[in-house]
C-alpha cells in the first residue's frame, strides 16, 4: 500500500515556500510547453500553456500536501469547472476530492496530546491510527469507547486554521499573476467571504452546533441520517461524533434504479428545503460528504462545517428564478437572472442573443420532462450549451462575480446536479420543484 503520510507544513514560511514551489513548477511547465508548441509552428496563448495536464498534476500534488484553505480552493475548482475544463484536467483535479495526504503518526499523536492530554488513549477501548478519510481541513479516524460505542473522530491539521488568510491570499496572487483572471475583475468580496467560511469550517465547536441543528430539522425524515457530536470529547481541534456506517455515495450507481432515483431525488428535495424552508444550507457539495446506507435506504450526511444561513433576499431571488423557469417564459428567466446578479448588464447587452438561446435550450429540456422524469444521464445538451457560452467566456471584459452568497448557494445546486448526472439519475424534477415554488 502506498504511504500517503506527509507532515502538514504548519509554519508560515514553510507554507509560503510550498506556494513558491507551485509557482516555479508551473512557470517551468509553461516555458517547456511553449517551446514545444512553437517548435510545431503554433502560436499558443498563455491560458493554453497554463491549463495543461502536467501543470494540473503539479498543482494538485502540492495542494494535497499543503491541505488547508489552498486544497479547499482546489476542490472547489475541480467541482465548479468540471464540465468546462477538458476531461484530462478534470480527472487530475478530481484527485483533490479523493483524499489528501495524511498526518504521520507522530504529528497525529501531538495533536491528540494537545487536545486530550498525554494519556489520551485511556479514553478509548480502541483508536485506529490509520484514518478512514483525509480531506482539506482534517482527517477522520474510527474509535471505540469503553462502552462499545463507535465514533468517527475528525482531527484538524495543525496550523490550518491560522493559515487560512495567507493561503487564500497566496492562491489569489497566483491567479492574478497567471493572467487567467481579467485585471478589472474584483475578486476581493469573494476572497473575504471565502476566508470567513473557511474560518467557520475550522471551528469544530460551531460545526457541532450545526450538526445538532440539522438533526433537529431532519427529525422524522427517514431518508437521512445525521451523526451526533460527542460533547465530552469535543475540543477546538477534535470533533468526535457517532459513527454512521455507509458506502461512498458513488456506489448508488450500481443500486437498483428505483432506489438510486429515490435517493437522489431526496438530495434535490433537501437542497430546496435548505434554500426555501430551513434558511440554512450546507454549501459544500463534495461527494465525500454523503454516504449511502444500502440496508436502510438512507443517506448519511457527514459534514456541517460549511453550513451557513441563507439570507431571505437570496431565497427570494432563487424563488423568482424557479417560478420563471416553471412558467417556461424565457424573457422572465433572463430578467430573474439579471435581478439576482447571476449575469451582468454587460453580458446581457453584448451577448443577449446567446443568453436567450441558452435559456431556450434549458427550458425546452425541462419541458421535455413534463409528465415524466428528467434524465440527468443525458448530457448531450452540455456540449451545445458550452458552444453557446463560448463567446461569453471569451469576452473577459464582461466577466463579473455575482454576490458571494449567491455563489456559495449556486455551488450546492450545481454540485447536486453534477452528482445526479454522474450517477445517471432519472428524477421527477418538475414535481419536486413545483412543491417549492
Q: In this structure, what C-alpha cell is assigned to residue 226?
A: 445525521
Question: Residue 188 region, left (φ>0) first, then alpha (ψ -120 to 50), else beta?
Answer: alpha
Q: What are residue 365's DSSP bridge partners? A: none
d(CA 202, CA 114): 17
Please pick, among 167, 269, 284, 303, the residue that the annotation labels catalytic.
284
How many residues in the chain? 437
What single-letter DSSP state applies at residue 102? B
C-alpha cell at 382: 452540455
User: What DSSP assignment string belongs to 30-51?
Assistant: HHHHHHHHHHTT----HHHHHS
Determine contact, residues 413/273, Cβ cutoff 8 Å.
Answer: no
- Catalytic residue flag (residue 284): yes
**Widest CA span of the chain, in angstroms?**
71
Quick one: which H or E segment has residue 385?
helix 380-394
Phi/psi for 291 (5° steps) reads: -130, 145
CA pair distance 229, 211, nearest whole angstrom: 7
Q: List, by residue number, the catalytic residues.
A: 284
Amino acid at each position: 500500500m502506498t504511504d500517503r503520510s506527509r507532515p502538514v507544513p504548519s509554519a508560515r514560511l514553510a507554507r509560503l515556500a510550498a506556494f513558491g514551489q507551485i509557482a516555479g513548477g508551473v512557470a517551468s511547465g509553461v516555458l517547456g510547453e511553449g517551446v514545444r508548441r512553437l517548435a510545431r509552428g503554433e502560436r499558443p496563448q498563455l491560458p493554453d500553456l497554463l491549463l495543461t495536464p502536467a501543470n494540473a498534476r503539479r498543482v494538485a500534488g502540492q495542494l494535497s500536501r499543503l491541505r488547508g484553505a489552498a486544497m479547499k480552493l482546489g476542490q472547489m475548482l475541480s467541482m465548479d469547472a468540471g464540465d468546462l475544463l477538458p476531461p484530462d484536467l478534470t480527472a487530475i483535479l478530481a484527485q483533490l476530492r479523493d483524499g489528501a495526504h495524511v498526518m504521520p503518526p507522530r504529528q497525529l499523536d501531538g495533536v491528540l496530546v494537545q487536545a486530550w492530554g498525554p494519556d489520551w488513549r485511556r479514553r478509548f477501548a480502541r483508536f485506529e491510527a490509520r484514518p478512514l478519510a483525509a480531506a482539506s481541513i482534517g482527517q477522520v479516524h474510527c474509535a471505540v469507547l469503553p462502552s462499545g460505542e463507535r465514533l468517527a473522530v475528525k482531527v484538524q491539521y495543525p496550523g490550518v486554521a491560522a493559515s487560512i488568510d495567507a493561503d487564500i491570499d497566496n492562491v489569489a496572487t497566483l491567479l492574478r499573476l497567471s493572467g487567467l483572471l481579467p485585471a478589472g475583475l474584483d475578486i476581493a468580496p469573494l476572497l473575504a467571504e471565502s476566508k470567513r467560511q473557511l474560518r467557520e469550517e475550522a471551528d469544530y465547536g460551531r460545526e457541532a452546533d450545526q450538526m445538532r441543528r440539522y438533526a433537529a430539522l431532519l427529525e422524522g425524515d427517514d431518508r437521512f441520517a445525521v451523526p451526533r457530536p460527542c460533547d465530552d470529547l469535543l475540543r477546538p481541534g477534535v470533533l468526535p461524533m457517532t459513527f454512521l456506517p455507509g458506502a461512498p455515495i458513488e456506489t448508488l450507481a450500481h443500486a437498483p434504479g428505483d432506489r438510486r432515483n429515490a435517493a437522489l431525488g431526496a438530495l434535490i428535495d433537501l437542497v430546496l428545503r435548505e434554500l426555501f424552508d430551513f434558511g440554512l444550507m450546507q454549501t459544500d457539495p463534495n461527494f465525500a460528504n454523503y454516504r449511502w446506507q444500502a440496508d436502510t435506504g438512507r443517506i448519511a450526511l457527514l459534514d456541517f462545517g460549511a453550513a451557513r444561513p441563507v439570507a431571505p433576499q437570496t431565497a427570494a431571488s432563487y424563488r423568482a428564478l424557479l417560478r420563471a423557469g416553471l412558467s417556461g417564459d424565457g424573457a422572465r428567466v433572463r430578467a430573474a437572472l439579471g435581478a439576482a446578479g447571476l449575469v451582468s448588464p454587460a453580458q446581457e447587452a453584448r451577448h443577449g442573443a446567446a443568453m436567450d438561446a441558452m435559456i431556450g435550450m434549458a427550458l425546452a429540456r425541462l419541458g421535455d420532462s413534463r409528465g415524466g422524469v428528467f434524465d440527468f444521464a443525458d448530457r448531450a445538451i452540455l456540449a451545445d450549451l458550452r458552444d453557446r457560452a463560448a463567446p461569453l467566456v471569451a469576452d473577459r471584459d464582461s466577466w463579473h462575480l455575482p454576490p458571494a452568497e449567491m455563489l456559495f448557494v449556486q455551488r450546492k445546486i450545481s454540485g447536486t446536479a453534477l452528482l445526479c448526472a454522474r450517477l445517471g439519475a432519472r428524477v421527477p424534477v418538475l414535481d419536486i420543484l413545483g412543491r417549492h415554488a
